[in-house]
Chain A
Amino acid sequence: MSLRSPLGRVLGQGSAKEGVHHWWVQRLTSVALVPLTVWFVVSLLSLPALDHATLTAWIGQIWTAVFLILLVLTGTWHSQLGVRVVVEDYVHGHGTKALTLALVTFFHVVVAVAGVLAILKVALGGAG
C-alpha cells in the first residue's frame, strides 16, 4: 500500500527532503552540547572564586567567550526545539497552542540575544 497522496503521485516530485529538519537539528545541537555543557560546568567549578573580577577575567579570554556564546546559542536552540515538541504534544486547541508556541519562541530569542550580548560586552571589556 502506498502512503502517498493522489496529488503527490500525480505531481511525482518526491519528498522535499525537509521532513527530518527538526529531528536533525535536535541531534546536531545534542552532539554539540555534550562537550559544551560539560566544559561549562567543569570550568565554573574550577574557578577560584565567583567574584566580578575573576569572572570578567575568565570571560575576557577569547576561547571562554567563544565557547560561552556557542553554549548560549546551541543551548537555546536545542531548548526551543525540545519545548516546542512538548507544547505540540500537551497543549491542545489551535489558539492556545499557537500562542504558547509564539511565547516559547520569543522567550528563547530574548534569552539568546541577551546572553550573547552580555558575553560580548564582558569579552570586549565593557563591564568595568
Chain B
Amino acid sequence: MTERPLSPHLGVYRMWRYSLLSSIVNRATGLVLSAGLILLVYWLVAIASGPAAYRAAHAVLSLGALKAVYVILLATFSYHLFAGIRHLIWDTGHGLERAQSQRSAALVAIVSILFFLGLVWWALHAGGRTP
C-alpha cells in the first residue's frame, strides 16, 4: 500500500489550544469509559453468580490498585458527560463561534472538575463505607 498522509494527523495540530485538546480528551475519556464497561459487567456477573462468587469478586474489586481506577473512571465520566452535553448543544447549531467554543471548553473543564470533586467527596462520605 502506498504511504500517503492519513487524516487525522495529530502531529500537525497545535495541541496546546485547549479547545482542540478538549476534543482529543473527549475521545480519550470515551475509550477509558469503554474499558470501564468490563468492570461494570464483571461486577454484574459476580452479583448474579451468588453470594460466594460475589464475595470473591468483591475482594478483587476492593484492591487498593482498583481504587485508583475508580477515581480515574469518575474523573473521565465527569469530563465525558459535560463535554458530551457541549457536543449536543453544538448539534443544535449554537455556540459554534470560536470565542464561544473556547469559553465552553473552559466551562466544561471547570464544571467537570467541580462535579468530579463533588462525587469523590460524596463517595468518601457515603455512610462511612469505602468507595
A residues neighboring B (CB under 8 Å): 27, 30-31, 33-34, 37-38, 41, 45-46, 48-53, 55-56, 59, 68, 72, 75-76, 79, 82-83, 86, 89, 92-93, 108, 111, 114-115, 117-119, 121-122, 126-128
Task: Check if A118 sits within 8 Å of B47, measured CB to CB.
Answer: yes
By DSSP majority rule, is chain B's interface helix, strand, loop, or mixed? helix
Task: Check if B84 sits within 8 Å of A50, measured CB to CB.
Answer: no
By DSSP majority rule, is chain A's interface helix, strand, loop, or mixed? helix
What is the total number of residues of chain B having a CB less than 8 Å from a CB of chain A? 38
B18 CB, min distance to chain A CBs, angstroms: 21
Task: Check if A37 sits within 8 Å of B81, measured CB to CB.
Answer: yes
Q: Which 4 A-B pairs have the closest CB atoms?
A: A118-B48, A118-B44, A79-B34, A128-B50
Complex-state Cα separation, A49 to B54, whole angstroms: 14
B residues neighboring A (CB under 8 Å): 1, 6-8, 27, 30-31, 33-34, 37-38, 40-41, 44-45, 47-51, 54-55, 58, 74, 77, 81, 84-85, 87-88, 91, 119, 122-123, 126-127, 129, 131
